[in-house]
A = this chain, B = another copy of it.
Amino acid sequence: VVKRGVVRVVTPGTAIDSSMFSDASNNYLMAVAGREVGKSGKSGEKEMEFGISFLDISTGEFLTTQFTDSENFDKLLSELARMHPAECILPPSLYGNSELTGRLREQTIVQEFTPEVFGIEDAGEKLKTHFGVATLEGMGCEKLEFAVYSAWAALEYAKTTQMRDLSHINTLRTYSNTEFMVLDSITLRNLEIVKNVRDEGDENSLYRTLNCTKTPMGNRTLKKWLLKPLLSVEKINLRLNAVEELAEDSLLRYDIRDWLSDVRDIERLVGRIVYGNASARDLVALKKSLDVVPPLRDSLLEKARFEMLKEIAEGLASFSELEELAEMIEIAIVDEPPISVREGGMIKPGYSAELDEFRDISSNSKQWIAAFQQKERERSGIKSLKVGYNKVFGYYIEVTHANSSQVPEDYIRKQTMANAERFFTPELKEKESLILTANEKAVALEYEIFAEITRTLSARSRELQETAERIGTLDVLASLAEAAENNNYTRPQLTEDCKILIRDGRHPVVESTVSGGFVPNDTEMDCKENQFLLVTGPNMAGKSTYMRQTALVAIMAQVGSFVPASYASVGIIDQVFTRIGAFDDLASGQSTFMVEMVELANILNNASPKSLVLLDEIGRGTSTYDGYSIAKAVVEFLHNRGKVGVRALFATHYHQLTALEEKLKRLKNYHIAVKEDGHELVFLRKIVSGATDRSYGIHVARLAGVPEKVIGRANEILKELERENVLEEAEE
């Protein structure tokens, strides 16, 4: 008796019979996970954090991503439109959102699915088990909780409906869909974009090299641009046009940067004004910052030729109350006000008649007291009689003990000192009260005036912040122009193809620190014959610097900066991947090689035809044969990835890999030239086409003082190996 049961459930997203869908396109199951994550600062709108996955069980293709979306689900819906899934599954929490479900249903079939998974961590563990991996880092989604959750939901739904093994789904690719080049934390570190590796400071970083900004807004904006280079040729050219204009018109640039020197941190000043903890000094700083806007604006309105500078000028001009607000501060607040807003001294005379009157009373008191003292001296006949003041007792009349007999009867004793006695009269006390009250009232009125001014400014906080933003952008553009002029950079060309052509490229940071002049090098990459550059050469010769400078020139170009080269053309890069350097960590116990492999896996899983990959010494952390096998398989994989391959710079000590040039048509060999000069090795630091003949390791050993006997024997062994040329022939 055979027990019958459901063998398979066919759903639109999990169909595998080709009859059910076109061969020309994928048949995706889409899974969504997500949560509301609070409101965005500016608009006050709700924000959603979504993880979505697309699984094609017919091909095994499996993609995931995670992003922040608006409350209208703009990005989610555009991904849906782009990918055309046959079916979309949602967890109950999202399925209950009728607006979301409704919008999704316009384009696809929507199902509720309750995966039996207890929390995100569990999903990650189950995915790892499925793929037989120790970490999801190699797939690039270890830290994307909703991406992981959606991927697991998709896989589980497929399993539930298919009721069979899904082992052909053996990899998961994390992609990101943005308008910016992706620079992950590893790449930011390896290329030292905003921090150096040594102490995490900004010395020797690209940021420090390019930073000629004059304002805090400019400084912050430059950092943002460097962390998020653009992908749109058009938008990059807008920036480059502005930079070029400012680079060429050095008078205009000089003026702008001179004006910007007077600008304080408007963003933070306005922040303090809005949150009610600004001081009068902050208002003066704001006023001084606003003072430079009119000349800046007028100068730009007159001279700017290109769109971006024009837009900045027009934007600045659109804030019509700007001069009014600056004048308001100018009229009201003294030039150097005190720190405290509760002790007076902030408001200029002439601003408020009432305040002036209070102040009169207060300041005339000196005169009155002098007159009173004179009067009392005459009345009592005591020439040494003095009127004084202290905080505890207020005003008093002081008479020395010697004169105490002459004290008028109406004096009231207040205090006896060693040499004198202190008295007061009702008249003095009355005046005292008037003086002190006037002071108090003046201080209170000053604060009221100050608060009124900050309220007026607060009401214009949006325009003020926009002005700050425009000044920041202008500052970065002027800074990039200044850096371009100072460092002899040239304007790069940006293209939609995949060529990278650099003539006389330099490493922007190293060129300024290296002694004896930096040796420029060319780079020539495309998707045909020069897609994969295999670089060999001895240690210390500059392989790493060369690879890094190529990536840095491309990143600078996409930031909108001029670049250190005599000519550069960059085909837009969507992500720079790097696997460089080994950082042994004895204490943590994690093997260098595992780290290397996880970083490599991430690259292999996620690099696209538009990416640029830098790989340094892949496979060095394991045995020779293993490492060589992995390195060779990686070269072949990247070269052939998705049939069109990936642009890559690959430095290696496995010189035998250079033989691949014969077999892989888009791979080219390069090496760094070295001259032997007697005992010395001279590193020419020039990249040269073709494979290198020697690695000079034994030479370095000799320079380090390794005994001659060892050197001689090592050379013998090497000659044997080279005669046999074993690794290279192994596969012939």
What residues of chain A have their CB less than 8 Å away from a CB belonging to chain B? 131-139, 170-171, 192, 196-198, 204, 415-418, 421, 536, 538-540, 544, 581-589, 591-594, 597-598, 600-602, 604-605, 619-630, 632-634, 636-637, 653-656, 678-679, 695-698, 700-711, 713-715, 717-718, 720-722, 724, 726-727, 729-731
Residues on B with C-beta less than 8 A from A703 are 132-135, 594, 597
Oligomer: number of copies: 2
What are the 9 tightest A-B residue pairs by CB atom distance, in nearest-first order?
A138-B705, A622-B697, A626-B697, A416-B416, A726-B726, A597-B704, A623-B695, A601-B705, A132-B679
Residues on B with C-beta less than 8 A from A715 are 629
A720 to B633, CA, bound (A): 13
Q: Closest chain B residue to A631 by CB distance? A: B714
Is A696 within 8 A of B586, CB to CB?
Answer: no
A695 to B620, CA, bound (A): 13
A547 to B263, CA, bound (A): 62
Question: In the complex, what's the smallest C-beta–C-beta distance from A528 to chain B, in angstroms?
Answer: 23
Question: In the complex, what's the smallest C-beta–C-beta distance from A719 to chain B, in angstroms?
Answer: 9
Q: Closest chain B residue to A536 by CB distance? A: B623
Residues on B with C-beta less than 8 A from A196 are 587
Q: Closest chain B residue to A514 by CB distance? A: B589
Residues on B with C-beta less than 8 A from A697 are 593, 619, 621-623, 626-627, 629-630
Q: Closest chain B residue to A605 by CB distance? A: B707
A622 with B705, Cβ < 8 A, contacts A630-B698, A713-B636, A714-B629 known: no
Is A171 within 8 A of B707, CB to CB?
Answer: yes
A408 to B551, CA, bound (A): 100
Is B707 within 8 A of A594, CB to CB?
Answer: no
Is B131 within 8 A of A705, CB to CB?
Answer: yes
A70 to B192, CA, bound (A): 53
A634 to B714, CA, bound (A): 8
Sample of 14 A–B contacts (CB below 8 Å): A170-B707, A415-B418, A540-B589, A594-B704, A622-B697, A624-B624, A625-B718, A629-B698, A629-B721, A630-B701, A630-B714, A637-B713, A721-B730, A726-B729
Is B704 within 8 A of A138, CB to CB?
Answer: yes
A170 to B711, CA, bound (A): 12
Question: In the complex, what's the smallest C-beta–C-beta distance from A498 to chain B, in angstroms?
Answer: 22
Residues on B with C-beta less than 8 A from A632 are 713-714, 717
Is B601 within 8 A of A704, CB to CB?
Answer: yes
